Every structure is written in C-alpha cells, then in structure tokens.
Amino acid sequence: MSSQELFGILPLLLLSAGIVILLLQVSFWRGHAGGLATTMITLLLAIASCFWVGATLSNGVSSIQVTALLLVDHTSLFFCLLLLLTAIAVSIMGYSYLRLRCNPNENSDSYPEEFYILLLLAMLGATTLVFASHFATFFLGLELISLALYPMLGFSVTGDLSSQREQVQSLESAIKYLILSALSTALGLFGIALIYSASGSLEFSSIASHMAELSQTSTLFATGVTLLLISIAFKLSLVPFHIWTPDVYQGAPTPTTALIATVSKGAVIGFMLRFFNTLDLYGSQILIDMLSIAAVASMLVGNLLALMQSNIKRLLAYSSIGHIGYLIVAFLIGKSTFGTEAVIYYLVAYIITTLGSFAVVGLIADSIEEKILQGKYPDNPRDESEDPYQREFYRGLLWRSPWLAGCLAAMLLSLAGIPLTIGFIGKFYIFTAGVEGQMWILLAGVVIGSALGLFYYLRLLLTMVQRESTTVSESAGSIQIAVSGQLLLTILTGTLLLFGVFPQILINWINAL
C-alpha cells in the first residue's frame, strides 16, 4: 500500500488508533471524564483529517483508490465528516446519560468507558461503509456497526443506578435487534454470494463492467441484488421491514437510539448512493418499483402509526420511518447531480432534526433521573404526566423550561417542513426531485405523509404551550440540564435555523463534491 493510499484512509486510521489508545487507557486508569476526553479528541482529529484529505483531493486528484477495497472521494469524505460530527453529539448525550447511571468505585464493576469504545467501533464501521468499493469492506463495515450496537442497546443493564424498568427495556431492545439484525445480515450475505456467483467478482467496478449482460440474462444476479436490498431495507427501517424499530427505539438508552437513527442510517444511505451509481442500477425497473413501493408504504404507514403514539421515542421512531421514505423519493431520481444533491441535503436535515429531538428528550429524562436519585421524584411514575418519555409530561413545558421547549419546537417544526427551517428546504428538494422525475404517485405519498406528520408534530407542540393541568407532577418543576447539553442544543438549533434561512451555504458545499 502506497503512502498516498494510507493518507487517503487517514480518518479510518485515526479512529482505529483512538480505539487502541482508549483500550489501553482503561486498562491502567478508569475514569468517565478521561474516556470522554479521549473519544472527543479522536473524533476531532478524524474530522480534521477529512478536511486535510479533502484539500488534497481538490488539487487535481478526484479520488484515491485504496487497493480494491476502499474508494476515497469528496462525496464519501462529506458523509464521513457528517457522521463524525454526529458522533460528537452522541458522545455528549452519552456523558449526560451515563454519569447518572454508572457509579464507578472500588466495589463496583459499573464503568461507562466501554460505551465510548463501542461508539468508536460503530463509527469505524460507519466510515468504512461510506468508503466501501468492495463487498468485503461493505460487510465488514456493516458488521462493525451491528456488533457495536448490540451491547450499546443493552447498556442500561450495566448501570448500577439504572432503574429496573430501564434495564429490562434495554435488554429487550438489544435481544430484538440482535435476532432481527442477524436475520437481515444472513439475507444480505446470501445476496452477496449470489452476486458473486453471477459476476465472478466482489468489486463494484468489476461488477459494473459486466452489468450489460448481467442485468439482461442473469436471474442469480437479480435475486442477489434483491436480497441485498432487503437487508439494507431492514437497516433503514423501510416498511415492511420496520417492525423492530419502535420497540428498539423505546427501550434503548436515548444516546444509542440517536446513534441508530442517524449514524447507522446515514452510513447505509452513503453506501447505497455509491453502489447504485457505480453499477447504474437505476436502469433496473424492478428494483426501482420495489423501492418505490417501500417508499410509499414507509411514508404512509410510518406517519399513520405515529398518530397513535403517546410515547415520544416511539413517535420519533415511526416519524423516522416516514422520513426515510421521503429520502428514498429523492434517491429514486437517479444519478443526476440534482438527485444526489437532494438526497444529501435531506439527509443532513434529517440527521440534525432527529439528533436534536432525541437530545431534548434524553436531556430532559436525565434531569428527571437526577431528581429520582435525590429522592425528589417518584421512581415508578404513577401516570403519564410523570414519565418523561410520555407526551403528557410535556404539557406546559414552555412555562417550566422555555429554552428546552423552544429547541424542541424548532426540531418539530423542521420535521414538519415549516419554512425558515432546514426541514422545509429538504422537503422542497423532495418535491422538486419528484416533479423532475415525474414520480406522481410518490409525490402523492409525500403530500399525504406530510399532512399526517404535520398533525402529530403540531399536536405535541400544542401540548407544550398549554398551561399545566393539575395532573402534571409538581415534583417535575423546572428542568435543569448540564452546560454541555445546553451548548449541544444551541449548536443544533442554530444550525437548523442557519441552513433554513440561508440554504445556499449548504447547497454550495454539496455542489462542490
């Protein structure tokens, strides 16, 4: 491997080095703050390396092919940068969550550093996935993400101070995800085997050179790609492969839920863009029809089921199903510059708003958990008004904590596609992509899904601005969150409004890819 190839995968090397250093660090010195510091330094160095490699690519080099396994270009670096920035936000959420539930001392084995090791492993898998140009690296990246997520989903079990309800729900979500993820991985691996049997290669560019004959004559190839797409549909929670999503989102620790909803799905979208563009699968009408049906079903089913939810995490889970359906509409326009631009812009909007929504919910729940530990709040909520994950708890939030209510309101308005938010620009891209591709049925699904979404987003917003009723627990009081949480919400809300009011900034960055 040449020095240029090593330089091209510098973000991956830095993440790997950070994992090794963190493993050595916790072998000699246990400390929550130290684990967070090493994780943040690793992520920041990896982010800086993305800019460094990107600057090199701007100097006459369009891409760097690292053996046959990885391809580094501007688009993959943008996805890598987006995922790494998301990981920083998840780290901050994780610190707030873990400091109240893990009590490291001489007589305890409850240490939170393992969370950060698993987070870096998941990020190594996600960044490998967006650089993948070979099925070997695709499978390696996908499995790194999954193997890190299994223990992260059940992480509440390791917390000495976690409530029994949290531990049971966390373990349940981990087991459900493990079983269904294993099934989807098996289908995807079988699909890769069929593709290899038909084409004789696992490298995307090599398969692409035989596409003319494969797409016309090979049933094995068509079956293999179909099975691979089913596996990908599971990771994206597309209907009808969405059944795991609400239960896993509800039971998992909120930082892990945010990680699955953003990083995991963002990495898979990045891979799909490369895979479809390299093999030019947009010419396969069967695959396009399959994705179109899944997109329409996701938009309608996701938003319809969200109407029935009183649990905020389940509501956001079904909401994410609908938003991935919207994103697939832009994806289906093909390999045109506008199609890629629409997908990337909407993905950025989705990640910012979803991350911000889960951050508000998680930080509020952490504040209540702190009151429980201090004996100021009931450990077992008697009704929904005392459970921070229920919609009824948010009644009158504007009067108890105007700042948190304002941040959550901005996220909800963006998810609903209201003007002056990044979500509105993202929805505009979806409509424009649908009109350009003359996908009228898909556009009808977008309109109906958006109308349904507007109802339950505004219903939650109305709940927040209503005056507190007598059913709201007096022990909830004002909600105080850590400075790091306030800073995170400020950045996410500011970014949401910045790109909503001045979208050309992000559009120019995307067009430069």
- Domain boundaries in the chain? 296-482
* 409 Cβ neighbours under 8 A, 6+ residues apart: 461, 464
The per-residue pLDDT for 106 is 47
Q: Are 391 and 310 in contact (CB under 8 A)?
A: yes
Q: Average pLDDT by consecutive 10-residue portion of the chain (513 residues)?
A: 82 93 87 87 94 82 82 90 94 87 60 87 93 91 91 76 75 88 90 88 85 70 89 90 89 90 92 88 82 91 90 92 90 72 90 93 84 64 69 85 90 90 88 79 88 90 76 57 87 92 87 73
What is the dihedral sign for C-alpha 274, 279, 283, 289? negative
Please tell me what DSSP assigns to residue 159.
Answer: -
Distance CA 145, CA 126 (A): 6
The per-residue pLDDT for 435 is 81
The per-residue pLDDT for 384 is 57
The per-residue pLDDT for 67 is 84
What is the pTM (predicted TM-score) of this model? 0.91
Report CA dihedral (419, 421, 422, 423) to the nearest 10 degrees: -60
The per-residue pLDDT for 215 is 62
Q: Are 75 and 337 in contact (CB under 8 A)?
A: no
User: Mapping DSSP to helix (H, G, I), strand (E, B) and coil, where does residue 472 land?
Assistant: coil
The per-residue pLDDT for 335 is 63
Short-list 277, 324, 276, CA closest to 300: 324
What HEC string does 226-264 produce? HHHHHHHHHHHCCCCCCCCHHHHHHHCCHHHHHHHHHHH
The per-residue pLDDT for 145 is 92
Q: What's the Cα-to-Cα distance from 27 to each of 22, 30, 130, 382, rounded to whole Å?
A: 9, 7, 31, 43
Q: Are 357 and 257 in contact (CB under 8 A)?
A: no
Tokens describing residue 409:
């309101």
- Give Cα 444 to chain centroid, integer Å: 26
* 332 Cβ neighbours under 8 A, 6+ residues apart: 282, 288, 291, 292, 295, 437, 439, 442
